Each structure stands twice: as C-alpha cells, then as structure tokens.
Amino acid sequence: MESKGSDRLMFNLSADGKFSVKKAYKHLNESWRYVTGNQPSVWKKIWKFGSIQPRLRLFMWKLVNGALPLAKTIFYRTGYGVPSCALCSQDDEDAIHMGFKCPFARACWLASDIPLRTEQLPNTVREVLTQVLQWMSEEQWSMFASIIWAIWRCRNAKAYQGQQQSISLFFKYVSLINRETMLVNSCTGTVPGGVTMVGEATKRWVCFTDASWVNSWDTGTGFFLQEGEQLLAYGIQYTSSSCPLQAEAKALATAMAFVQQRGLHDCTFCTDNLVLAKEVSKIQPPIIVDWRAAKEFFLIWEFLQKNRGWNCIYISRSHNEMADRLAGLGRREKMDLVGFTYPIINGIC
C-alpha cells in the first residue's frame, strides 16, 4: 500500500497523539505505583516505626533511593574512581552489594542478632525491605537498620581512612548507634508548672542544659533542644572546668552557641543552677559570683542581650534528669556527640 503522507511522531498516551507534561507525569506516577506494588505500606513502616531513630530513617531512605555515595554511583555519575567495592573489590559497589552481598557484609549479618542468609535475598534493596518488613517487629527493624548503618561505617572507614575492616569494628559501630538511639528515644522533657521563672515565659523552642563535674576538673556537658515535646537535637561534650559553677555555665554557653548557629531566635534555656539563671538574666552585666566562671557568665549574658527572643529559666534538678544523664555520659565516657532529628532544624545540619 502506498503511503499517503510522511511519518510523524505520535504520543500514544493521549487520544490526539500530542505530548503533554501533565499526561506524561500521570503515566510515570501510575507506573511507579504499579512497579512498587505494596511499597506505600513499606515506606509507612520506615518512617513511622517509633523505635528507629531519625538518623537511621534518613539513612535507609538514602540507601533505597540510591542517594548514598557508593563507588558505582560515583563512577557512573562523575566518571571518577572505580565502581568496584571498597571492601572486597570483587563486584561493583551498589546498595545491595554493600549492605548484603559483599563477603564482609555477609559475615557481619551472620555474626549479628539478625543472622540473615543474605545469598537468598532479592537483588534490590527495595525488594529486600518489602520482604523483611512483612515479619519484622519495631525492635527488629531498628536493629536491622543499625546493622546496615554499621556496615556502611566500616565501609567508609576503609574507603576514606584506610582502616582494615573487622567484625570487632562492626560491633563497635553497632554499639555506638544503639547508644545514640537510646539517647534519642529518651531525650524528652517538659517545663513544669510552678517553677521559678527568670525572664519571660517559655518560647517555642526549649533547650535543657546541665553539667557533670568532679574534683579532677573532668567535666561533661549535655543539652537537648525541643519544639513542644518533639526532640530536635542533642549534644554531649567532654571538657574541663575548675569549679561546678563554671561547668554549669559552660553547658549553657555551649547550648546557646549551638542554637545561635541554627538561626533560632525564639528559645528558652533551662538550667538547674539558680545562681546562673538569675545572674545572666539581669539587665546589667552579671556580678562575678566566682571569678573562675566569669568568662562564661559574661558570654551567656552577651548571648541573651544580642538575642532578645531568648530567655533563661531555672528548673529543679528533678525536672532536668535527661540533660544530667547526657552530661554524666560525656564525663564518664569522654564523649563528644551532636545529633539531629529529621527534618533538620531550618534545613541546616
């Protein structure tokens, strides 16, 4: 049969054959839903399971969506480096290989509290999660994510620091993330009614601070920041102080510096040291109660003068137990740690 005209492109998703962004978007959206099947319930578990902390939720999201800087991803997007695994150099390093198929990852899973037979798992992380989340409890899911995160940390230690991977290093990272998860899940506090108030009423954001000090000058400071009853961030620091008052002032100054860096101009700071709360909240510069804490007192007073939306209040020790626990951990373990929840405050980490 003879052609009655020249060939032309047709968009077969519309009746008139004309392309439109709206129809293409609708088709892609429906295709995604078809391919992922029961994924909405999977994602709901990833984000809503209460026992998994925000850092791990975000890590798992990046893992599933190919957002981690793995060797294969970097190579095919930039052309730099090699796509092979940083740990075993046997296969290309994608998400499924790093987390489950690499020989080191397999050894970690067999040694862990969830001894998966990884050779029997599907070939994509998305399929693995679809399968395992059907039977996992919240506690198991939190441990599952912790194991993959620890493998990822071992991978980074080898790739960027040349540190030899080992099962003992893997368990070290599992212990670290489990400890952090415990802190995140317990870092909540409320400003009690009837407390001695210094300054204005409590603000939108509330930051609890405390210090732990011994005669050897060893000091631990701790703080955690909330919006309402929702934890936003927390910090632990090991430092030194010459007296308990200086230690308390250092804890408060550290928290204020952290909040200022995040651009929060409406915050109440809570301390269980009444002298500190009163002196730094005065209109005039603070009286030097103890010369060893003079520098920190004046620094805090300046913070409050420059940030008029801030105020400092005194709360009893019984209402500041969580900050006290963080400070004690910093002193005993000589730990420095800052953690964020998700979404990150004002988009800044």
Q: Which of 150, 183, 216 is the last residue of a domain?
A: 183
Per-residue pLDDT at 324 exceeds 50: yes
Residue 94: what pLDDT? Answer: 93
Among 11-15, 92-96, 157-161, 226-230, which stretch is predicted with the lowest mean pLDDT? 11-15
pLDDT reported for residue 44: 66
Considering the domain architecture, whether residues 212 and 335 belong to the same structural domain is answered as: yes
Please compute the mean of the pLDDT values over residues 298-326 and round it to a whole number. Answer: 90
Q: Which residues of 97-113 are buried (b: 16+ CB within 10 A; e: fewer)?
A: bbbbbbebbbbbbeebe
Residue 349, pLDDT score: 37
Over the stretch 171-212, which tens digit does the pLDDT of each residue have?
Answer: 999 988 887 777 766 665 555 554 444 444 567 789 999 999
Structural domain total, the chain: 2
**Phi then psi for 207, rounded to 5 degrees?**
-120, 120
| Cα–Cα separations (whole angstroms), residue 264 to 33, 244, 256, 267, 296 | 39, 28, 10, 7, 21
> Is the Cβ–Cβ distance between 315 and 191 less than 8 Å?
yes
For 327, the enclosing helix (H) or strand (E) is: helix 321-333
> Residue 334 carries which side chain, given as an amino acid letter?
K
pTM of the model: 0.62
| pLDDT at residue 157 greater than cutoff 70 | yes
Range of the domain at 177: 36-183
Same domain as 221, residue 178: no
Same domain, 57 and 168: yes
pLDDT at 230 over 80: no
pLDDT at 202: 62
Domain CATH number, residue 269: 3.30.420.10
The answer to whether residue 10 sits within a structural domain is no
Read off φ and ψ for residue 233, nearest 5 degrees: -160, 160
Print burial letters for 235-258: b (CB count within 10 Å at least 16), e (below 16).
Answer: bbbbbebebbbbbbbbbbbbbbeb
Are both 124 and 159 inside the same structural domain? yes
Residues 166 and 224 in one domain: no
Reported confidence tier of residue 341, pLDDT bands at 50, 70, 90: low
Domain check: are 209 and 152 in the same one? no
Does residue 7 sit within a domain? no
248 shares a domain with 112: no
Query: What pLDDT is stored for residue 111 in this prediction?
Result: 92
Task: Report the range of poorest mean pLDDT among 50-54, 136-140, 250-254, 344-348.
Answer: 344-348
Q: What is the pLDDT of residue 344?
A: 46
Q: Does position 248 have pLDDT exceeding 70, yes or no?
A: yes
Say yes or no: 212 and 174 in one domain.
Answer: no
Domain boundary among 153, 183, 213: 183
Question: Does some domain include residue 3?
Answer: no
Same structural domain, 171 and 229: no
Is the domain of 99 the same as that of 222?
Answer: no
What does the pLDDT read at residue 32? 44
Shared-domain flag, residues 112 and 231: no
pLDDT recorded at residue 245: 94
Confidence of residue 109 (pLDDT cuts 50, 70, 90): very high
Q: Residue 94: inside a domain, yes or no?
A: yes
Structure confidence by residue, pLDDT tens digits, 24-67? 766 665 554 444 444 555 666 666 665 577 778 888 888 888 88
Q: What percent of the chain has pLDDT over 70?
A: 79
Least confident of 162-166, 190-194, 261-265: 190-194
| 332 domain-assigned | yes
Is 189 inside a domain boundary? no
- Residue 26, domain member (yes or no): no
User: Is 15 a member of any domain?
Assistant: no
Could you say which DSSP state residue 218 is in? E
Residue at which a domain ends, from 183, 216, 246: 183
Sheet holding 205-213, edge to edge: 310-314, 267-271, 205-213, 218-227, 230-240, 337-340
Banded model confidence at residue 169, pLDDT cuts 50, 70, 90: very high
Q: Are 51 and 150 in a shared domain?
A: yes
Q: How many CB atoms lie within 10 A of CB 334?
A: 11
For the chain, how big is the Rg over CA atoms in Å?
26
